[in-house]
Amino acid sequence: MKTAKLFSALGLLAMTAVLIYGFTIGNFSADGAKILANPWGIVSLVDLYVGFTLFSLWIAYREENKLVAALWIIAMMILGFFAGSLYVLLHLVFSKGDMARFFMGKQHREKGR
């Protein structure tokens, strides 16, 4: 559990740094056009959004409140693994060491565990 918290905190820190860097130094439109002009840029974006979608399915599964799930999924699609790292870190803390509760969320309670 400590290792998972460490990695999610490091992911959150790294994503915070690169998002600040990208938004302050980069040009979203111009840089995005370059990515979309490159076949491997397109492959990378598809790969990224497949990962976002799979992670979002886990969020939808484990969240009891559909509005909360929808907000996290929107954050995931906009902020990427900044939101994913924050989500994991928060739920590692909330689960208090219970990995079944961490992974299953509301499903954990419904199965009587």
| pLDDT the model gives residue 110 | 58
Structural domain for 84, as ranges: 2-110
| pLDDT the model gives residue 108 | 72
pLDDT above 70: percentage of residues in the chain = 96
| Band (23; pLDDT cuts 50, 70, 90) | very high
Residue burial 38-65, b: 16+ Cβ < 10 Å; e: rest: eeeeeeeeeeeeeebeebbeebeebbee
Question: pTM of this prediction?
Answer: 0.86
| pLDDT the model gives residue 105 | 87
- Total tally of structural domains belonging to the chain: 1
CA atoms within 13 A on the CB side of 92: 15
DSSP structural state of residue 47:
H
